[in-house]
Amino acid sequence: MPDPQYCVYIMTDEQHSKLYTGRTGNLKRRVTQHRSGNGGVYTRRYNLVRLVYYEPVEDDGAARLREKQLKRAGKKQRVSLIEHMNPEWADLFESLEI
């Protein structure tokens, strides 16, 4: 079973116009950083504060690999993943169990 602490995740804005794909060893902490403006330039510039997708992985190496796969796949495929897991594009942060 994957260690739920390692995740790849996707953040978006209110209009779902921009997506940010990242990886972390502590999803709650990382999303909190994004929301407070300390998560990175891109997420701060476009106000990407809604967690709409996350995927637990085995370890940091697996997270790095999966992040690259998702980024290479393109926006259309990432939107499909989001809509499969989270069709309403709800902010998943409050429901995190990890």
CATH number for the domain that contains residue 77: 3.40.1440.10
- The structural domain count of the chain equals 1
The reported pLDDT for the residue numbered 71 is 96
Place of tokens 């260690």: 3
- pTM > 0.85: yes or no: yes
- The reply to whether 35 falls in a domain is yes
Annotate the chain with DSSP letters as a single string.
---TT-EEEEEE-TTS--EEEEEES-HHHHHHHHHTT-S-HHHHHTT--EEEEEEE-SSHHHHHHHHHHHHHH-HHHHHHHHHHH-TT----GGG---
List the domain range (segments joined by +) for residue 26. 7-95
Is 60 a domain residue? yes
Predicted confidence (pLDDT) per residue in 32-48, tens digit: 999 999 988 999 999 99
